[in-house]
């Protein structure tokens, strides 16, 4: 790596992270990559939960989820409601990580 590449990569912000939907399935094909992906999702959950309520302990609000993923309203609402297993109107870490892992690496034919 030359010095100019190193300098530009050091200046890039590491957060907030946006998921690249086009390349995500190729990223999580192996077990090591899946573990990295889960860690990555936990980092995103942590950041979004702080944005939602100013506290990590509560979870991600529907508003924060919608603004982060920038999906059309009804799709964002339905995805949030699908991930919110306990109907608490916030996404806990386990709900977010499990749901996103299934969304990006799961089999659409499984229940």
For the chain, the residue count is 111
Position 62 pLDDT exceeds 60: yes
| Half-sphere exposure (Cβ direction) of 1: Cα atoms closer than 13 Å | 8
Position 8 pLDDT exceeds 70: no
Place 105 in a pLDDT band, splitting at 50, 70 and 90.
Answer: confident
Place 33 in a pLDDT band, splitting at 50, 70 and 90.
Answer: confident
d(CA 33, CA 36): 5
Q: pTM of the predicted model, to two decimals?
A: 0.66
Query: What's residue 41's pLDDT?
Result: 92
């Amino acid at each position: 790596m030359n010095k100019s590449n190193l300098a530009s990569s050091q200046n890039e912000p590491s957060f907030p992270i946006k998921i690249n939907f086009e390349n995500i399935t190729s990223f999580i094909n192996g077990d090591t990559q899946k573990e990295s992906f889960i860690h990555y999702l936990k980092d995103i959950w942590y950041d979004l939960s702080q944005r939602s309520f100013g506290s990590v302990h509560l979870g991600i609000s529907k508003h924060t989820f919608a603004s982060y993923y920038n999906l059309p309203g009804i799709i964002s609402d339905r995805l949030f409601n699908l991930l919110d297993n306990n109907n608490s109107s916030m996404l806990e870490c386990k709900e977010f990580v499990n749901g996103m892992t299934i969304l990006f690496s799961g089999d659409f034919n499984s229940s």
